[in-house]
A and B are shown apart, each in its own frame.
Chain A
Amino acid sequence: EVQLVQSGAEVKKPGESLKISCKGLGYTFTRSWIAWVRQQPGKGLELMGMIYPADSDIRYNPSFQGQVTISADRSLSTAYLQWTSLKASDTAMYFCARKDSSGYKNWFDPWGQGTPVTVSS
C-alpha cells in the first residue's frame, strides 16, 4: 500500500525553528514529487512547494518562497519542511501529498495524515 506518514504534532514559540517530515512507504520514493500543503485554521488548501527527490528539484509557490525550506533525504525516503523562525501565522495543519512524475498522472494521491503546528507564546 502506498502511503505517506508524517511526523507528530508540534507546539512552538515564535522565533523558534522547526523541521517536520513526511516518509514515503510502498513505492519508489525518488520517482514521485512530494508536495507540501498548508491549511490554516478554518481556511482552504494552499500549495507551498514541491520536491522531486531523485534530483532534489524544488519548486516553491512564490507566496512561500523564502519563508520555508523544502528538502528530502533519499536514503530515508523522507521529505522535510523547515522553518528557521516561526511566526504565529504559521499555525496550521501541514499535509504532504504525492504526485507521480508521469506527465499524464495529474493528481495528488495519497496524502499524509497531516502535522498540526501551533505557534504561540
Chain B
Amino acid sequence: DIQLTQSPSLLSASVGDRVTITCRASQGISSYLAWYQQKPGKAPKLLIYDASTLHSGVPSRFSGSGSGTEFTLTINSLQPEDFATYYCQHLTGYPFTFGPGTELDVK
C-alpha cells in the first residue's frame, strides 16, 4: 500500500500569513492527490484534486502543486475560517489512503 506523510503535523500561524503544508508519498502517484479541510465535529471538505485543481467554490487563496511523490498545499493570506486540520489523500491504486493530517492553529 502507498503511505502518505505530512509535515508539519502542527502549524501555528496568524491571520494574514502564508503557510505551506507538504505531503509525501511512499511511491510515485502521478497527480492523483486530493486535499481536504476538516473542522472539529464536521465532515471533511474537498479543497483540491488532481494535485493542483481548485474545487468549485474554494477560495483562490488555496493552491496545490506537485507530482510524483512530493506535494504542497499553500494558503495565502490566512483567514480566520482557515484554522482547521488538512489531510492529503492519494487516489491511485486501492486503498486510497489519507495522510495523518496537519493541524493549523492560531499562533
Contact = CB atoms under 8 A, between A and B. Distances in A.
B87 interface: yes
Interface stretch (B10-18, B65-73, B88-96): B88-96
B94 A113 contact: no
- Chain B's interface: helix, strand, loop or mixed, by majority? loop
Name the interface size band of chain B. Answer: 20 to 34
Interface in A25-59: 35, 44-47, 50, 59
A80 interface: no
Nearest to A112: B43
Given A61-B95, A95-B44, A107 B100 contact: no
A114 interface: yes
B96 A47 contact: yes
B103 to A, nearest CB: 10
A38 to B, nearest CB: 11
Contacts of A90: none
Contacts of B32: 106
Contacts of A113: 43
Nearest to A6: B43
Contacts of B42: 114
22 contacts: A44-B98, A45-B38, A45-B44, A45-B89, A50-B94, A59-B94, A59-B95, A61-B95, A62-B1, A62-B95, A95-B43, A99-B91, A106-B50, A107-B49, A107-B91, A108-B34, A108-B89, A109-B46, A111-B43, A111-B44, A111-B45, A114-B42
